[in-house]
Structure 1
């Protein structure tokens, strides 16, 4: 998966926690954006900073509050049966088609199924 992401030079990556920040910095394109949801794992991240600086990567912190609050939110959403709007689904082999769809704009999420 990382080889494919390197080949496509992704513009943006969303991460939960900081454990994979270094890997994200390796595969993201120059000038890319990493959205880091930090509160789920704590406040400390240990990763080499040079790839982030050399690629001019922007890291956006997304706070979620306490784990308890997130758990309550997820439970509330689950209890209502609310589902995300899926605009399209693509098998992993059609990743280029899915990315073209994303470039054209989409209402709802574009899902790429892996495996």
Structure 2
């Protein structure tokens, strides 16, 4: 997605003025409440034209004011990764101070989730295949981490870290049959935000633990614009800055996508022109 400055305005526009810094919103028609059955038909990037462009023409309702404390590059990371993490933690997870959140991996959603959950007062546990990434996430506020290469039965380690109870909310980006470990790592009547499927789009779900632990699993596909507005205000108030792995120029777009495919710690950004320096 994209962060941009408003150029000319159409007739009747009242939400923004020329020169305002705004984000585009992925689900361009989803403004508030529950999603409609046709939201995917109005996504920027698929099937609508995406944000890898110098200019976009969008309706004022599909734009969100960018946080003032972020550069253009930083603000560009928010529309999908940050907003997905926010919606999973706040709108679905309803996380309260002192509760425990497990975040899988160290990609864009996961890093934002660790930062936001920490700012909400939650205790964050992370999983990763790299100890260095676990250490980096601890530097962002996580209280503990489990290397799932070293500990393939990582749910057992999570239970040890939580006194046998499990976490209140688990953000699952892996999918596949690992969902069974996610259920085991979540407390009775806890919640799982199913965000991704890095290890597979299908799973053999063991229903007995799910039923007896009374676990709620909710698919998360970003969020409405109202959540975006609330999130940006929260990020600004808490001075949260996105973690950017690397910034590529427009003519390096292929390299940027290859970097993303290899994996990144945080976000990969493509910029048009030189990097901005307008963070306040």
Based on CA coordinates, which of the two structures has the bigger radius of gyration? 2
In terms of fraction of residues, the more strand-rich structure is 1
TM value normalised by structure 1? 0.49
In terms of fraction of residues, the more helix-rich structure is 1
